[in-house]
Amino acid sequence: MNLLGLVSQLLAILAALLLAPLLTGWINQCRAWTQNRSAPGLLQPYRMLHKLFHKESVLAEHASPLFRLAPYVVFGCMALASAIIPTLSTDLPLAPAADAIALVGLFALARVFISLAAMDIGTAFGSLGARREMLIGFLAEPALLMVLFSASLISKSTSLTTIVETLAHRNLAIYPSLAFAGVAFTMVSLAENARVPVDNPATHLELTMIHEALILEYSGRHLALLEWAASLKLFAYSCIGLALFFPWGVAEAQAPLALLLALPALVFKLAIGGALLAGLEAMSAKMRIFRVPEFLATAFLLAVIGMLVNILLGV
């Protein structure tokens, strides 16, 4: 790994760490505007992280080392996922690690740790949230794999960098297989990031919360890491969607200047995607928890249909 490649990779990681809370703030603003409410500041997530990092972490009396370790593992998994996804360039030192199966494995590792940590204390809400989180993961991960495989059939590779390079150089057209995969990916992304209609990140209702139930016992720097990791996960999923369905604007050089030129295109696409997500949430209602398996099963079937369309029609 040469010095130029190392600097370029560090710039990509830094961009992910800084843009993730900004994306969350932008979505919260757009969601408030669509609901005719006073919007929070765009930099509110940064202020929240700053406040939490300066607070003392309070731990339960019987908390095991797993409870203390989980926030760091979850944050590390999300940061690594954001680093290997081709957000700014396809020619970075960590690009060969951007395999679809490895990426889903990172998300699964983070889910296992946060679920085990939630059950570690033995509270009712932690166990409830952990069971629901594992149920969603059990249904969402196969659907996500089918979406990635639909795109890999076009590029003949499961590497995200190869998929981006292949799709970016093809003629602008609507591919039926990618259309089905796009709808399925949107449904999976909503479920994986605890967004409406699957979950509501702005509420603590006892019988409906999923993500919030997992982190109720955390405070201080541990809670800050988990909130930052949640923003990084939303950023990572957004960048996966952009890489699969809107790959244009990604640089192909291992140079800091190329990354800086690709940054405005990434910010522009994230801004549009965040506004669309906020609008979708404003038009949707929170579904009951027992309807979530039907929701994710539909996403899986759509992704499989996309694969079959590609196999049968070649488009």
| E strand intervals along the chain | none
| Helix, strand or coil, per DSSP, at residue 158 | coil
| Helix, strand or coil, per DSSP, at residue 159 | strand
pLDDT at 1: 56
Contact between 177 and 260 (Cβ < 8 Å): no
Residue labelled with tokens 């994230």:
270
Return d(Cα 198, Cα 293) in angstroms, integer.
Answer: 10
Query: Tens of pLDDT along the chain (315 residues)?
Result: 578 888 889 999 999 999 999 999 999 999 999 888 888 899 999 999 999 999 999 988 888 999 999 999 999 999 999 999 998 888 888 888 888 899 999 999 999 999 999 999 888 888 988 999 999 999 999 999 999 999 899 888 889 989 998 888 877 777 889 999 999 999 999 999 989 889 887 776 667 788 888 998 999 999 999 999 999 999 999 999 999 999 888 888 777 888 888 999 999 999 999 999 999 998 888 888 889 999 999 999 999 999 999 888 876
Contact between 158 and 152 (Cβ < 8 Å): yes
pTM of the predicted structure, to 2 decimals: 0.95
Amino acid in the structure at residue 162: T
Structure tokens at 114: 């946060």
CB burial readout 180-193, b (16+ within 10 A) else e: bbbbbbbbbbbbbb
pLDDT at 134: 93
